[in-house]
Amino acid sequence: MIRACRALGIEAVAVYSEADATAPHVREADAAFGIGPPPARDSYLNVAVLLRAMKESGADAVHPGYGFLSENAAFAEAVCDAGAVFVGPPPPAIRAMGDKAAARRRMLEAGVPVTPGTGLLGDVEEAVVAAGALGYPVMIKASAGGGGIGMLPCEDEAQLRRGFASAASRARSSFGDGSLYLERLVHGARHIEIQIAADAHGGVIHLFERECSIQRRHQKVLEEAPAPNLRLEVRDAMGEAAVRAARAIHYQNVGTLEFLLAPSGEFYFMEMNTRLQVEHPVTEWTTGIDLVQLQLRLAAGEPLGLAQADVKQRGHAVELRLYAEDPAKNFLPSPGEITRLVWPSGPDLRVDAGVENGSKVPPFYDPLLAKLIARGDTREAAIARAREALGALVIEGVKTNAALLARVLDDPAFRRGELSTSYLSRLLQRKPG
């Protein structure tokens, strides 16, 4: 983000909690403001302190990144009310997609297919009746949910009865809202998402798809573009649906429509991320469009300057997410100090890292350490480059998922592009080697 600002001649101000005082982004920015103690609620989620940093620094705009308050409509409103520009969609568009059950209704009205499901459920008895009509297996989902929290698959009525109350209480404690609904669970489905961009003048385009099926705990581990083995007419239909969805909520700036793709070729809207995605680099490298620069331009009111036909997908890109966690212990996080670190480097490789040699990885935030993005003319070439980069990576002091990433890249099923959201759990059930 700092580099995108520089490229456009914009000064960048970073904010940091006490745990991140020595982080690389603090040094790279033109100015940096401390915003409080390590726990996120006291710093990165503290709107009053963030607004003070904004005013004191004289910033004209706020880029919310892709975590914390990036999908918080109240924060976006507070930034606008303070006279600055929020680099993201208008608050009503964030709100329209933040309530997952309401978003499903809006999408149905706009002609975007959604997974068969229910409205909000009053209690477990209502859920049991609704699930009977819907057909098992079903997935319990939290209306205010995100990041997989509050989601629970149920194969039958007994599981639904057992899980309903705890899903509601988890949703209540995590999001302050315990409302639940059900969706039919689609077996063998892939998670494919469409990147869109919209300006303030009615222009909406999509920037093609990303394949994001490889996940643990409903969080992505490896993403790529284009999606392997995706029929062109299905891809185009998804792109058109994504543009319709964005128009329906008067969206502006960049955003992502997440779809489930069933083995039949039918696809269903899951949710929209009203912000930049972690995996945006694979789109940047296959379309040649810098999404952060585009965000800044759109936030400044500029038109897209691109028609759909101008956006071309070229070559292939793969992103590996390096997490501080132990796959052998059910992905238990592994905070600590990085005692030795050598990033791979070279052509067709990009490393977006939040840590460096000697960094302390604090227990307060997400375990994502870095993203390794590789590209090639073909999928095989991009995978080979990614594999080579992993081989050259040295990281000691914290446990990481690097060996698991290598196993995925070496797996013949992955290489054949045989993917579904249960891919990783199946791979882990098999013995390594």
Partner 1 sequence: MATNVEAQITGSVWKIEKAAGEAISEGDVIMILESMKMEIPVEAPLGGRLAEICVSEGQSVDEGAVLAVIE
- Interface residue list for partner 1 (CB under 8 A): 39, 147, 217, 324-325, 332-336, 363-367
Query: Minimal distance in Å, beta carbon 363 to partner 1?
Result: 4
Distances (CA, A) of 344 to 121, 318, 348, 351, 379: 50, 15, 11, 8, 20
Helix or strand holding residue 134 (H, E): helix 124-134
Rounded to a whole number, what is the distance in angstroms from the first to the last CA of the chain?
A: 39
Query: Minimal distance in Å, beta carbon 410 to partner 1?
Result: 27
Q: Tally the C-alpha atoms within 13 A of residue 295's C-alpha that lie toward its C-beta.
A: 28
Nearest to 276 by CA among 25, 18, 70: 70
Query: Minimal distance in Å, beta carbon 395 to partner 1?
Result: 16
Residue 27 or 41: which CB sits closer to partner 1? 41
Calpha distance 339→337 (Å, rounded): 6
Cα four-point dihedral sign 44, 47, 52, 58: positive
Give residue 211's region: left, alpha or beta (phi > 0; psi -120 to 50).
beta
Does residue 321 contact residue 335 with C-beta atoms inside 8 Å? no
Q: Which SS3 state, helix, strand or coil, does residue 102 take?
A: helix
Both tokens of residue 310? 């101008």
Query: Minimal distance in Å, beta carbon 298 to partner 1?
Result: 29
Residue 90 or 178: which CB sits closer to partner 1? 178
Query: Minimal distance in Å, beta carbon 71 to partner 1?
Result: 15
State yes or no: is 27 an active-site residue.
no
Query: Minimal distance in Å, beta carbon 339 to partner 1?
Result: 16
**Catalytic residue of the set 190, 216, 235, 275:** 275
Does residue 397 contact residue 338 with C-beta atoms inside 8 Å? yes
Both tokens of residue 262? 């069933």
Residue 148 or 263: which CB sits closer to partner 1? 148
Q: Tally the C-alpha atoms within 13 A of residue 46's C-alpha that lie toward its C-beta.
A: 18
Q: Residues with catalytic annotation?
A: 275
